[in-house]
Amino acid sequence: MNLAATAPLEAARALRAGKAHVLVNVFAVAWATQRGDMLGGPGQFHAQERFKRNLEVPFGWFPQPVYFASIARRHMHEYGTRSEHLGEIAVAFRRHANRHPGAVMHGRELSLEQYLARPMLCDPLRVEDCCLISDGGAAFVMTSPERARDLAKPPVLATGVGEARSRTGTWWAQQPDFTATPQVFSAPRAFAMAGIAPGDVDVLTLYDPFTIAALMQIEDMGFCGKGEGGPFVAEGNLRFDGGSLPTNPHGGMLSHAYVLGIAHVVETVRQLRGEAHAQVPGARVGAYGGYTGHMASTLVLEKG
C-alpha cells in the first residue's frame, strides 16, 4: 500500500550511499487462499489492535467494509455524494479491467444500472464497492538513472515521494476529519518534490480497497475540491480514453487484483512506457496514491 510508493525513496538513498546498484521491491499475498472468516486476511490486523478488539469488535464495527461503509455514509451526508458516484468508480475501473488480460474481472462487465440493482453488502456499500481478495504478487526493479538508460526498456524516473500519517492512527472511529485521508499532506509533498501540479498528472493509480477510498483520495490529492469527488467522477473523468484524469487503467484493486498497490506502480510504469493495455495516449507523468487508513503515500513517476 504505502511501501510501493516509498520504496523508490529508500532505493535512492541506498544507491547514493553506494550500498546497492540494483534493488527489487517484491510483494506477494495469499489472502484468497487464507480468507476464512477474515481472520487470516486483512481484517486480522484490526482485530489484533487491543482497543479496537475490545471497543469496536464486540459491537460488530468490524472489519474494513464496515469502516468504509460508515465513512461513505458520512461523506454522503456532508457533501451530497450519492451511490451513483461510487458506482461510476466501480464501473470505470471494471471497464479498464475488461481490457487487461491479467485482470481477475477481465471477462465480467459492469454497467451503472447493474451496479445500482445489486443488493447492499453493508449499506451504502455493495460488493462492487469492495476490492477483490486475491492471491498474487508483483515486483519492480530500481536502479540509477545512468544504469536505467543503458537498459533495453525505456527508463521511468521516480521524481517525487510523499508520506503522511493521521494523528489518530488506525483508530478511524476517532479520526476528527472522518471523511478525509492523509493524502492532503502526502500528495503536496510528492508533487513539490517532483515540481509538478495535480493538473500535470496524465495517469493516476489509486489504492482502492473501496470506491469511497478512491473518491476521497482524488479530492485530497487536489484533483478536485473537497466534497466534489462525486460530480467529478460522474463526468467520466476517470476513463483511460478521453477522461481528464485516467485512473486505475489496469482495473485497480476493485477489478484487477488485490495485491496492495504494487500492481498499481507496475501499471503506472507500463503506461509511461506506452506498453499498457488500456493505454492513456501520450502519458508522460504518472502518480500513485497509496493509503491504508492511518497513513498515505504518493509517488510521482515520469517518462525518462
Partner 1 sequence: MSEFPLPELEWEGTRPFWEAAAREALVIPRCDACAAWVWYPRECCGACQAEGLTWTPVSGRGTLFTWTVVHHAFAEPFAPLVPYATGLVALAEDPAVRLATLLVDCDPASLRVDQPVRALFRRLPYGGREVVAPLFTPA
Q: Which of 21, 53, 149, 153 touches partner 1 by CB under 8 A? A: 53
- Is the CB of residue 133 less than 8 Å from the CB of residue 32? yes
Beta strand extents in the chain (DSSP E only) = 22-30, 120-122, 125-126, 135-143, 156-165, 203-206, 285-291, 295-303
Q: Which of 17, 54, 107, 117 touches partner 1 by CB under 8 A? A: 54
Is the previous residue joined to 63 through a cis bond, with omega within 30 degrees of 0? yes
User: Could you tell me the smallest distance in angstroms from the CB atom of residue 84 to partner 1?
Assistant: 19
The one catalytic residue among 67, 79, 258, 291: 258
Grid cell at residue 186: 502526502
Task: Note if 67 is an active site residue.
Answer: no
Q: Which of 16, 17, 18, 50 touches partner 1 by CB under 8 A? A: 50
User: Could you tell me the smallest distance in angstroms from the CB atom of residue 178 to partner 1?
Assistant: 8
- The DSSP symbol for 210 reads B
Alpha helix positions (H), 144-210 = 145-149, 183-194
How far is it, in rounded angstroms, from Cα 103 to Cα 252?
9
- Is the CB of residue 193 less than 8 Å from the CB of residue 162? yes
* Residue 57 engages partner 1 in binding (rule: CB under 8 A): yes
Angle at 120 between CA 118 and CA 121, to 5 degrees: 115
Q: Which of 65, 162, 229, 249 touches partner 1 by CB under 8 A? A: 65
The one catalytic residue among 67, 79, 115, 207: 207
Q: Would you say 16 or 50 has its CB closer to partner 1?
A: 50
* Residue 113 engages partner 1 in binding (rule: CB under 8 A): no
Task: Note if 207 is an active site residue.
Answer: yes
* Residue 117 engages partner 1 in binding (rule: CB under 8 A): no
Active site amino acids: 207, 258
- Interface with partner 1 (CB under 8 A): 37-39, 43, 47-48, 50-51, 53-63, 65-66, 69-71, 73-74, 77, 119-125, 171, 173-174, 176, 178
